Amino acid sequence: MPCCAPWPMGWASRTSCTARRTICAGTASAPPRPSTGWWRSAGGPVGVCLWFPAFSTFRGEPGLYVQDLYVAPSERGTGLGRRLLAAAAADGRAQGATHLRLSVESGNDGAQRFYAASGLRWQDTERIFLADGRAFDTLADGIEETDE
């Protein structure tokens, strides 16, 4: 969709064409590069957080997405997960991010409690969809060249 086409939702419905062009130019530059925070003990790695820059067209703001956060069972409850998440947030803020997003497995109650205790809130307005296996291949095979 061209940057100045009518956008029916979020920031774009309230933002001028010139501002949208500026934002589109900034988001079309280089692909996001992931960042990783590791925590090691004498026995090896005990925690990792993988995040990358993201841009919310709904919010009209840069953010970051935490793809993975893992803390070894022996280190849970020590504050390590919070430190790793805080490192991701600080790195994102230094790059202009205004928010952090992540997803969590629906049955992982411990992680959900941890994220809530860390100040994150549940988004009841969104659902995560997944295409993998045959559905992914079918989707990828369905692309058609257009003259846009």
Q: Beta partners for 47? A: 39, 71
120 CB contacts (<8 Å, ≥6 apart)?
Answer: 100, 102
pLDDT tens-digit profile, the chain (148 residues): 455 555 455 555 555 565 556 556 555 555 556 677 776 677 888 899 999 999 888 888 899 999 999 999 999 999 999 999 999 999 999 999 999 999 999 999 999 999 999 999 999 888 889 899 999 999 999 976 554 5
Q: Output the pTM of the full model.
A: 0.72
Task: List phi, psi (to 5°) of 61.
Answer: -140, 150
Which pLDDT score is estimated for 1? 46
- Measured distance CA(1)–CA(5) in Å, rounded: 7
- Measured distance CA(94)–CA(87) in Å, rounded: 11
Burial profile 107-138: b = 16 or more Cβ within 10 angstroms, e = fewer: eeeebeebbeeeebeeeeeeeeeeeeeeeeee
The CATH topology of domain 31-122 is: Aminopeptidase (3.40.630)
Which pLDDT score is estimated for 4? 52
Which pLDDT score is estimated for 136? 92
Which pLDDT score is estimated for 66? 95
